[in-house]
Amino acid sequence: MHNSIAQTSTATSRLPEQSVTASLTVETMDDADTGGSILLASTQENQGDLQVVTVDQVLAKTAEQRAQLHRIEDLARQWGAAQTSTPDVAADGNLDRLAEALPAVVDRAMRETIPQKYTPELAQQMADDIMARLRRARAPRPLTAAERGASWMARWGCTPWCSIDHAETNAPEWHATAPVETDLRDHDLDTSGFDNNLPWMAARMVVASDKPQAYGRKTGVWIDYGVHTAELTPARARRALAALRGFAAELEAVVDQAEVVAADDFEGDPEIAAADKAYWDQHIRKINEAQA
């Protein structure tokens, strides 16, 4: 996939060279001997390991490949974030070229790895999502303590990556990264009209190191969901991440099914609805009168 994207990096990136591949082919084939149909799958691009499989085996493979796609996404995101320290490399022109090339790359990768899930719209959506993440990684962000300088860090006992302005009134004593967050806001999902402009989900790393000789140092991951915050150890955050990934696949299956079922939804007849409502209004009025 990296071959297809026109991108160059002249500055030294801290990201080690690496490659992540996702590949899965599934075929149905008529068996000439038995007259039945067989299901075949291969995870190699040359289909060297093509073999007869069960539906469950394919589902296990798609889960694996989905995890690989997540790794590809993570790598793209990490690469994007690494470019922020060398702005000349990820100049907007480069990003625009990437934006041009990415839809075709994602489209091909999806068709090859998860053909049964592939639609042009979904591929476009994934490409858009990756670009949004890359652009967000390049968007202006609060100064880090390292950018504020050594005297700032010494004054507040601050870690290099901390983005908290400790000089602000009521600023916390712990140190935290700027949050990553969903574009989706909490109120986009909450139809109650409660309008908080909070992200649906956000996460940050937090280090508490006040008087470390006495109390030690503790690193945590804070996950915000709506108005709630889960203050987790990295190990518990890892479990939350695994649960989220598993749930995402299950949620996708529910949404897939709902879209198919919703295709047969229909509007009622307003005249019949009005008559029905009138009948029940009268019925309830009679009951109330009888009770009075």
CA distance 265 to 146: 56
- The CA–CA distances, whole Å, from 49 to 23, 26, 69, 221 equal 12, 12, 20, 41
Nearer to Zn ion, 43 or 163 (CB): 163
3-state secondary structure of 81: helix
Q: How many residues does the chain have?
A: 292
Q: Which residue's beta carbon is nearest to the bound Zn ion? A: 162
158 binds Zn ion (CB under 5 A): yes
204 binds Zn ion (CB under 5 A): no
162 binds Zn ion (CB under 5 A): yes
CA distance 176 to 28: 52
Q: Answer yes or no: are the C-beta atoms of 176 and 207 closer than 8 Å.
A: yes
205 binds Zn ion (CB under 5 A): no
Looking at residues 35 to 64 of the shown chain, list those that interact with Zn ion (rule: CB under 5 A): none
Q: Answer yes or no: are the C-beta atoms of 207 and 172 closer than 8 Å.
A: no
Shortest distance (Å) from residue 257 CB to Zn ion? 47
Binding mask 167-186 for Zn ion (x = CB under 5 A): --------x-----------
3-state secondary structure of 209: coil
69 binds Zn ion (CB under 5 A): no
Binding mask 111-150 for Zn ion (x = CB under 5 A): ----------------------------------------
Shortest distance (Å) from residue 156 CB to Zn ion? 5
Nearer to Zn ion, 126 or 162 (CB): 162
Shortest distance (Å) from residue 157 CB to Zn ion? 7
Contacts of 20 (CB under 8 A, 6+ apart): 68, 71, 72, 75
Query: Which chain residues interact with Zn ion by CB under 5 A?
Result: 158, 162, 164, 175
